[in-house]
Amino acid sequence: MKRTAFFISDGTGITAEALGNSLLAQFEKIHFERITVPYIDDLEKAANLVKRINKSAELDGEKPLVFDTIVDNTIRAEITKANGFMIDIFGTFLQPLEQELAASSSYSVGRSHSISNESNYERRIHAVNFALDNDDGARTRYYDEADIILIGASRSGKTPTCLYLALHYGIKAANYPITEDDIHDQRLPKVLRPHREKLFGLTIDPDRLATIRNERRPNSRYSSAKQCQFEVEEIELMYRRERLPYLNTTAYSVEEISTRIMVNTGIERNR
Amino acid sequence: MKRTAFFISDGTGITAEALGNSLLAQFEKIHFERITVPYIDDLEKAANLVKRINKSAELDGEKPLVFDTIVDNTIRAEITKANGFMIDIFGTFLQPLEQELAASSSYSVGRSHSISNESNYERRIHAVNFALDNDDGARTRYYDEADIILIGASRSGKTPTCLYLALHYGIKAANYPITEDDIHDQRLPKVLRPHREKLFGLTIDPDRLATIRNERRPNSRYSSAKQCQFEVEEIELMYRRERLPYLNTTAYSVEEISTRIMVNTGIERNR
């Protein structure tokens, strides 16, 4: 079974996409054809989009689902003319919110992913630069500035997680790879000791680690089952001995790893 | 005026946050204290959260706004007992969707940001690695694999945009910095010529570029108004002469730059 879903917005469409995808994820048996249409910010674009939705309805023989976060009432009214099943996100929630807050919505377009909150946006970009400059143990002398320092075996998920924390939440995240040369008697590497309160460990099932490393360097010692097993064991022993908080990332996405780190450490979103 | 807003989920809370922030962005005059509470996946956690919301209501003297994407009806019913103003996202939309789709929601928790769609998730992580390996002109020999190659002056927004495209959409984005040595007679640098159909140019107002560069290397030739002016002019002339699509990033966030690039090039989200 196949169904078309449109995510429509006067801005980037990111919110409509996020909510739409969350709802569609609840219907696993249906295959959805997803179409994001951002920047529908005048009546002409809206009218053209209505035609596109109607055409899709005709081809499918069923109404497309239409998730929209359009702010402007006139443009939204135009979209409503389409032969689609409307999930009108702002239309549903804005009016009750206006009442509860006893305030008018500004009905300003595309605000949620703009740089309108400039200091907040700059903090995110700075955090991305910080993550890149302090990736993979490249530099350790700026750890004083870090909000968090992720540690773990090579390819346990540190870099994508740092980037996600930076890009989304403006969190300054450095990362340091623990290699076998770094571990003696399951103690923390010297360079990390002054920053113990910022450390968060990642670990991963050795089999999964070997698979990931094999994509990078096939049939090497680095990616062998034995080496992965050894590193993971030593590193986990070190985490426990040093009583560091840590997380097994095997079953988690970067979004989940990032969220769990924030829950676990109480680190603040910088927004 | 201050108001507390909770973003609650049985998963990461990212969808509740995204939608909640979009709606709150429409009320510019109110200061919102934002609290994200992920992983509310049993009744005990829900009951504790109810207490927390009630306490917040007492302290504020006003009902907190509660945005939730909790899937389980029993847990959601518990949350409803709180003294909050409920924006019940899944409760509002899931039932009408079930009717329209003539299908039951699976009521499975935390699906939208999990790795349940594994090939899709791996594509995103590969794309992040691709962006890192092919950042800043570091390598040009893998441009055949790229979905897109961003070009532009140093600090015009290429790297964060590549990372965003990769992390969110699984798009393989490389980037190449255009320096003054690269431009002769406003022609495309040689190394880029075989990949012309993948090129997308970024530009930026020279004043803004000078500000950004000054944070990086204060009072250098690199960050001088004159140098920034010169580079931007030459690069824009080159874009026009070579008829490359390009975008001025000055007023845009990475989310907006990424969305505009996707609209402009028709590049597909890999999901």
Q: Which residue of A has its CA nearest to B21?
A: A112
Put simply, whether A115 touches B (Cβ < 8 Å) is yes
* CA separation for the pair A165, A127 (Å, rounded): 8
Q: How confident is the model at residue B152 (pLDDT cuts 50, 70, 90)?
A: very high
- Containing B6, the helix (H) or strand (E) segment is strand B2-8
pLDDT of A106 reads: 86
Instruction: Give the pLDDT of residue B271.
Output: 58
pLDDT of B25 strictly over 70:
yes
Distance from CA of B217 to the nearest CA of A (A): 14
pLDDT in the model for residue B106: 86
Architecture category of domain B118-265 in CATH: 3-Layer(aba) Sandwich (3.40)
Do A37 and A63 touch, CB atoms closer than 8 A? no
Say which of B167, B251, B271 has its CB closest to residue A164.
B167
pLDDT of B229: 97
Inter-chain CB proximity B14 and A255 less than 8 Å? yes
User: Do A249 and A204 touch, CB atoms closer than 8 A?
Assistant: yes
How sure is the predictor about B269, in pLDDT bands with cuts at 50, 70 and 90?
confident
pLDDT for B174 equals: 98
Q: What is the topology classification, in CATH, of domain B2-113? A: Rossmann fold (3.40.50)
- A-B C-beta contacts closer than 8 Å: 178
Q: What pLDDT, on a 0 to 100 scale, did the predictor assign at position A180?
A: 86
Quote the CA–CA distance of B41 and B31 in Å, as a whole number: 29
- Alpha-carbon distance B176 to B202, whole Å? 11
- The pLDDT-based confidence of B232 (bands split at 50, 70, 90) is very high
Q: How far is B3 from chain A (nearest CA, A)?
A: 9
Report the DSSP beta bridge partners of residue A6: A35, A66
Residue of B nearest to A99 (CA): B85
Contact: A103, B30; criterion CB under 8 Å: yes
CB atoms B92 and A90 under 8 Å: no
pLDDT of residue A110: 77
Contacts of A214 in chain B (CB under 8 A): none
For chain A, positions 55-74, list CB contacts with chain B under 8 A.
63, 65, 69, 71
Tell if the CB–CB gap between B12 and A256 is shorter than 8 Å: yes
Contact: A23, B254; criterion CB under 8 Å: no
Of B15, B125, B167, the CB nearest to A19: B15
Question: Is B23–A94 a contact, with Cβ atoms under 8 angstroms apart?
Answer: yes
Find out whether A186 and A241 touch, Cβ atoms under 8 Å: yes
| Chain B partners within 8 Å of A113 (Cβ) | 253, 255-256
- 3 state SS of B197: helix
Cα separation, A177 vs A187, in Å, equals 14
Predicted local distance difference test score (pLDDT) of residue B79: 97
Q: Does B208 contact A at CB distance below 8 Å? A: no
The CA-based angle B36-B41-B47, given to 5 degrees, is 80
User: Do the Cβ atoms of B105 and A29 come within 8 Å?
Assistant: no
Taking contacts as CB-CB distances below 8 angstroms, the residues of chain A near B108 are 26, 28
Over residues B158-179, the mean pLDDT reads 97
Question: Per residue in B33-53, pLDDT tens?
Answer: 999 999 999 999 999 999 999
Tell me whether residues B23 and A97 touch, CB distance under 8 A: yes
For B38-53, b/e burial (b = at least 16 CB within 10 A) is bbbbeeeebeebbeeb
HEC string for chain A: CEEEEEEECCCCCHHHHHHHHHHHCCCCCCEEEEEEECCCCCHHHHHHHHHHHHHHHHHHCCCCEEEECCCCHHHHHHHHCCCCEEEEHHHHHHHHHHHHHCCCCCCCCCCCCCCCCHHHHHHHHHHHHHHHHCHHHCCCCCHHHCCEEEEECCCCCHHHHHHHHHHHHCCCEEEEECCHHHCECCECCHHHHHHHHHEEEEECCHHHHHHHHHHHCCCCCCCCHHHHHHHHHHHHHHHHHCCCCEEECCCCCHHHHHHHHHHHHCCCCCC
pLDDT at A271: 58
Per the annotation, binding residues of B for ADP are 152-159
Per-residue pLDDT, averaged over B193-210, amounts to 97
Residue ranges of chain B that CATH labels 3.40.50: 2-113, 118-265
For helices B89-101 and B14-24, give the axis angle rounded to 10 degrees: 110
Yes or no: say if A69 and A101 are a contact pair by the CB < 8 Å rule.
no
| Predicted confidence (pLDDT) per residue in B86-134, tens digit | 999 988 999 999 999 999 888 887 777 888 777 789 999 999 999 999 9
Task: Write the CA distances from B134 to A173, B144, B170, B173, integer angstroms.
Answer: 21, 12, 15, 8
Percent of chain B with pLDDT over 90: 85
Disruptive mutation site among B94, B259, B262, B263 for chain A (greatest number of A CBs within 10 Å)? B259
What value does the mean pLDDT take over residues B28-32? 92
Digit-by-digit pLDDT tens for chain A (271 residues) are 689 999 999 999 999 999 999 999 999 899 999 999 999 999 999 999 999 999 999 999 999 999 999 999 999 999 999 999 999 998 899 999 999 999 988 888 777 788 877 778 999 999 999 999 999 998 999 999 999 999 999 999 999 999 999 999 999 999 999 998 887 778 899 999 999 999 999 999 999 999 999 999 999 999 999 999 999 999 999 999 999 999 999 999 999 999 999 999 999 886 5
Q: Which of B101, B135, B163 lies nearest to residue A30, judging by beta carbons?
A: B101
* CB contact A241 to B (< 8 Å): no
Chain A nearest C-alpha distance from B180 (Å): 23
Would you state the structure tokens that stand for residue A138, as one six-digit string?
Answer: 């490249």
CA distances from A181 to A177, A186, A270, B21 (A): 11, 11, 35, 46
Residue A29 in contact with partner chain B when CB distance is under 8 A? yes
Q: What percent of chain B has pLDDT over 70?
A: 99
DSSP B190: G
pTM for the predicted model, two decimal places: 0.94
| Any A CB within 8 A of B265 CB | no
Q: Is A25 on the interface with B (CB under 8 A)?
A: yes
Q: How far apart are CA A218 and CA B7, in angstroms?
A: 43
| Chain B residues in contact with A70 (beta carbon < 8 A) | none
